Amino acid sequence: MPRFGLAINASNVTQSAAFFCEVLGYEVETSVGDWYRSLARADMQQMAIDFVQKDHESLLKRQFQDPAGFLLAYIVEDIQQMYKKNVVSHSHMTMRHQ
């Protein structure tokens, strides 16, 4: 079965992956050191989300810069419920552009 993969350059791979796991229900499929995580969900096996340390040596130098012009939408049935359950109760987990 073909899969769609999205690789995101992250300044903190562990924290980024934890957010997707704790809030959005993903599970870590592959973990390499503190620089790479590949996540998937059982109900969305055709899609993987990978986090790569944004300045890791495996990336080309031009990939080290912060991305621009990219939006990722994660669509949920009830955004208010998602906000109350996760954002308010997990306020310690913030993803900020640095």
Q: Per the domain annotation, does 93 fall within a domain? A: no
Chain centre distance of CA 28: 11
In this prediction the pTM is 0.67
Residue 19 forms part of a structural domain: yes
Domain CATH number, residue 8: 3.30.720.120
Q: How many structural domains compose the chain?
A: 1
**Interior CA angle at 38 toward 34 and 41, to 5°?**
135
For residue 25, give its domain range. Answer: 4-55+72-88
* Residue 98 forms part of a structural domain: no
Whole-number Å distance between alpha carbons of 81 and 54: 32
Residue 65 lies in a domain: no
Tens of pLDDT, residue by residue over 28-87, are 999 999 999 999 999 988 888 999 888 777 776 665 566 655 556 666 778 788 777 776
Instruction: Specify if 13 maps to a domain.
Output: yes
